Amino acid sequence: MGEFVRVETADGIATIRLDRPKMNALNRQVQEEIRDCARQVDADPEVYAVVLYGGEKVFAAGADVKEMAGMSYADMAVHSATLQDCFTAVAEIGKPVIAAVTGYALGGGCELALCADIRIVGESAKLGQPEILLGIIPGAGGTQRLPRLVGPARAKDLIFTGRHVSAAEALQIGLVDRVVPDADVHTEALAYAAQFKGGPALAVRAAKQAVDRGLETDLATGLEIERLQFSGLFATEDARDGMRAFAEKTKATFTGR
């Protein structure tokens, strides 16, 4: 349990809760606490899905610019690897991850949301990668995850201009997956996550890894990744129970083994 980031678990759903007043600025401490929380929920067999949440007012307004301003090239050459590792820890959680976005998700905040599998945002949310306006570029995955999600041209538009996009535009370009009333964001994210409780956790993890790793390579290699994940699941009790239940027209009971 960190000072600014904590894990709240209930009914098989873990919420990674950012709570650094006033705007959840992502300084080095917050980044490291996010990494630690991500590893905690990934390793917890009682957790079936994860929600990223910054509270009712803001998801995360970005990196702590005051902290960055005092860093030299030598400082950032070292820290940038840690920064990316912290966000990658979220992207590599082997369970469905839902970003519940209210208010601003800018810079590092947007990059954190990009690490999720699904993004549910409030109607008044604003997203963007405004680093260019500081004379820098996104450094926590924005130049890589954003174009993979919305395409290179749209990603370049957002990164080159640094402009904020509304929830409606974000939905239109595929940056987010669902827009709901602001007051319903967290509830909707929890409801989406709830469907995975008691599900085939090993198969979900394999599916996530197959999709994510496949996007990083050519089709032939991606198909081989899929083949290995697919065949590997036949060594699990969940697969045997699932197919037996189908044949017997009963409901499968998955145990994650």
Q: If you search the block for the tokens 């960190």, which residue do you land on?
A: 2
| 131 catalytically annotated | yes
| Active-site annotation holder among 8, 32, 56, 131 | 131
Q: At what angle do helices 73-91 and 28-43 cross, to 10 degrees?
A: 30
| 32 catalytically annotated | no
**Could you write out the DSSP letters of every residue in 143-204?**
HHHHHHHH-HHHHHHHHHH--EEEHHHHHHHTS-SEEE-GGGHHHHHHHHHHTTTTS-HHHH
Is residue 12 within 8 Å of residue 50, measured between CB atoms? no
Closest CA to 111 of 96, 93, 131, 95: 131
Is residue 127 within 8 Å of residue 165, measured between CB atoms? yes
| Active-site annotation holder among 33, 111, 188, 248 | 111
Cis ω for the linkage preceding 66 (within 30 of 0) = no
Is residue 255 within 8 Å of residue 238, measured between CB atoms? yes
Q: What is the DSSP letter of 60?
A: B
Please count the residues of the chain. 257
Active-site residue numbers?
111, 131
